[in-house]
Chains A and B, each alone.
Chain A
Amino acid sequence: MLEIKPILSALLRHKSSTLLIILQIAITFAVVVNSTSIIKERIELMSRDTGLVNDRLITFNVNAFGEDYDHESNLRADLELLRSLPGVVSAAPMNQIPLSGSGDSSGVAGSQEAVDNLEMTGTGMFHGDSHMINTLGVKLAAGRLFTPEEITYSRGRADVKSVIITQALADQIYPEGNALGSTLFMGGDLKMTIVGIVEHMSGSWPSWSNFNYNVLTPFVPLRDFQRYLIQAEDQETVTRLLGEVEKLLIDRNRQRVITNVRSMDELIERIYADDAAMTTILWVVVILLVLITALGIVGIVSFNVNQRVKQIGTRRALGATRMDILRYFVTENILITSLGLFVGITLTIGFNVFLAEQFEMPEFNWNLIPVGVLIMFFIGIVSVWLPARRASKVSPAIATQSI
């Protein structure tokens, strides 16, 4: 019914061009599936939950200069000004902003023993005042937030007694789930009590494996360089504040320069810029490759049709319908595609093993293979359609004509 036998014998007569299409389909498949796998992985990376109210946050830096600049009174006045602005929900001074790509990190442990054995866990260290957690929009899972009385304002190191940590870190250093109320060891004689645990909160470096291990402390370092974070009511306020925050702060005190006024969405865009670019480039490669392969199939099948015009005419004259001719070419294509995919799947697996060894790639997404197979069949049939239709229109009269 499907004329597999005559198709096969016809293919065997055109070994080289058949082999070429098979090879082309195989490589295309391997590249498309592996690229899609990387694209998928990057998109998942970029769309991870940050735990913050991304679209309502603004951050900026204040760089103070001048000999007689009083850090503490200026900080308090700045915060009072920011919190009084219409549309501002909350504002806090912070030493680092999640997803900004810069900040402080430190090793911590759940026991003195771990400290002594140098088995400390690297964490992001977030310093700020009692408004910090609410401003970030991070949710408290257990315990309490910092009280205003707890906050130390200091030019040097602070003698901090209490900390809040992320759930991920709590699970890491206190696997039994008894982190709340326990001690956080920071090396030397530095010890703090864990007074609260927050659900999920992104750190500053997305490529760091300890991205979700973060410590928040009730400490505001007083330095020439100060970061602020504001949570706005809505998107309009974000846009408005981005435009006016610099002027407002400079007008209050001219002895400083405001830099890096950015929304959290912009920070996220910046930190993932390379991943986004990689995704775009891979998309372009995939689309162009599929296009090339499709055009190649169109070219070869057209050639085959041209070469076989006489035979097609003869078949038509002997009673084959247009449908039969169309089906012949489509079946031929499906056969070739299947062979190509068989080689392609082998190639994909090999290629992926190589990539995984070379570049620490995450686990390959096996369900992309059936998706890729369907796509390749679709492309094959679409590109064979036009020349096959032309073949089906060959008039039976051709058979009786001599050249």
Chain B
Amino acid sequence: MLSYYLKLSWLSIKRTPILTSLMIVAIGLGIGVSMTVLTVNYMMDKDPIPEKSHQLYHVQLFSYGKGHSNSQTEDAFPMQVTYPDAMNIHRSEVPLRKTRSLATGFTVIPESADSPPFMQSARAIDYQFFDMFNVPFIFGSTWNEQIDQSPREVVVIDKELNNRLFNGENSVGKAVNLGSVRYTVVGVIDTWQPAPRFYDLNNGNFNESESIFVPFSLLPVHELPSWGNNNGWKTEKINNYQEKLASEQMWNQYWVELPTKEVKEEYQQWLEGYISEQQKLGRFENEKAGASLKNVIQWMKVNQVVPSDNSILVGLSFMFLAVCMINTIGLLLAKFLRRAPEVGVRRALGASRSEIFIQHLVDVAFIGILGGALGLLLGQLGLLGVKTLYSSYSQLVHMDLTLIVLAIGIALGSSVIAGMYPAWLICRTNPSVYLKIQ
């Protein structure tokens, strides 16, 4: 029966080529535009580390003095922590894994005289960083735990930098000149580009990951500069790096891995205990003093990873789709009613109402699938456009299988819904009217 209906559909499409192609174009444009917008939104909002996003927590401490707060966040918590706090809370044994983190950078000076020095962004972290965030290694591994207490000049570099400096060979044990200091390579990681770059949402949500990772314990030794935000609320005279380290400036980040709810609660309590200990020393004077743990998904929300522009566009694109569908209903009405005499004959020859109804829905579904296919093509074109418009999204914008199925689903679903009314109208055709005219 279905093949018969499909044959009838094909015949009817051939009979009204202009009307049919108008419908296909309308559905195609509707799907194309909404899929383009949805893809960008979906990719931005996607969980960058699904296996762990609910175990990794970003630590926020309300270390402001009286009367100060952060106007950028809903709960007024600062985005980062001070260096003394990062050092102190690192003593806690509660988290399964933990890392201090700072965006920094170096001048890389290649050994050979004919390749010029270049700047490279870097990250100062602790040895568990790679395990916490599931960073894949090609050669070697992270540094020894002791290095986080007694610093040594070791470095983990990424594949790209390894290709540039060592032609992609195993560089473990070799030296890299970062500024005027020699570092020994202990590991090389594979390309690792989480999108959004959830482990540091302060410095560009979709920026490239760093190529260089050095021990956080080197901060005071080599006075690693901050390449990220430095927020201060207190008037302090900071004349040198040592004074910066001791200050109330918030410029470090802290991540912990807390595998269960119980561990999370235990850690929350540990932090509260730490804060009251600090209050005795005259810090954390604000009445809101406290600690906040936010997992990856919550942290993405706080940082508004999906810009409000995108939400506006999603709304607009669905209205666009609605217009396309209303348009299609109008055109379907025209198409079906034109066929009324033929339907009258079929009804007179014994076709039931439901058969006529289903036949017309098959007709619509056929057009819907063609429209959906055109929509996917247009969507790809749209994404290409988005890529040229937003250079930082380039790795984001591609449709995966879920999105393709979704596109066809929306096309099919919405066109069948659009076809209901016209199909219902036509199946109520009274055969006698048309037989009389004939």
| Chain A positions near chain B (C-beta within 8 angstroms) | 16-17, 20-21, 23-24, 27-28, 30-31, 34-35, 38, 63, 65-67, 118, 155-157, 186-188, 190, 224-225, 250, 256-257, 259, 273-274, 276-278, 280-282, 284-285, 288-289, 292-293, 295-296, 299-300, 302-303, 306-307, 355, 358-360, 403
Contacts and interface: CB of A to CB of B under 8 A. Distances in A.
A17 B331 CA distance: 9
B333 A20 contact: yes
A293 B30 CA distance: 12
6 contacts: A27-B326, A256-B107, A295-B26, A296-B330, A300-B331, A300-B334
Interface in B389-430: 389-391, 421, 425
A349 to B, nearest CB: 15
A23 B389 CA distance: 32
| Main DSSP-derived SS at the B contact region | helix
Interface string B95-124: 000000000000101000000111100000
Contacts of A307: 337-338
A281 B384 CA distance: 12
Given A274-B307, A296-B330, A67 B180 contact: yes
B329 to A, nearest CB: 6
Contacts of B138: none
B333 A285 contact: no
Given A65-B107, A289-B320, A303 B179 contact: no
B186 to A, nearest CB: 23
Interface of B: 19, 22, 25-26, 29-30, 33, 67-68, 107, 109, 116-119, 179-180, 225, 235, 237-240, 307-309, 311-313, 315-317, 319-320, 322-324, 326-327, 329-331, 333-334, 337-338, 385-386, 389-391, 421, 425, 437
Contact of B319 (A27, A38, A157, A277): A27
A274 B390 CA distance: 7
Contact of B334 (A30, A292, A299): A299
B326 A288 contact: no
A104 to B, nearest CB: 9
Contacts of B68: 118
Contacts of A67: 180
A224 B106 CA distance: 11
B225 A278 contact: no
Contacts of A187: 235
B237 A288 contact: no
A296 B239 contact: no
A295 B240 contact: no
Contacts of A224: 225
A292 B235 contact: no
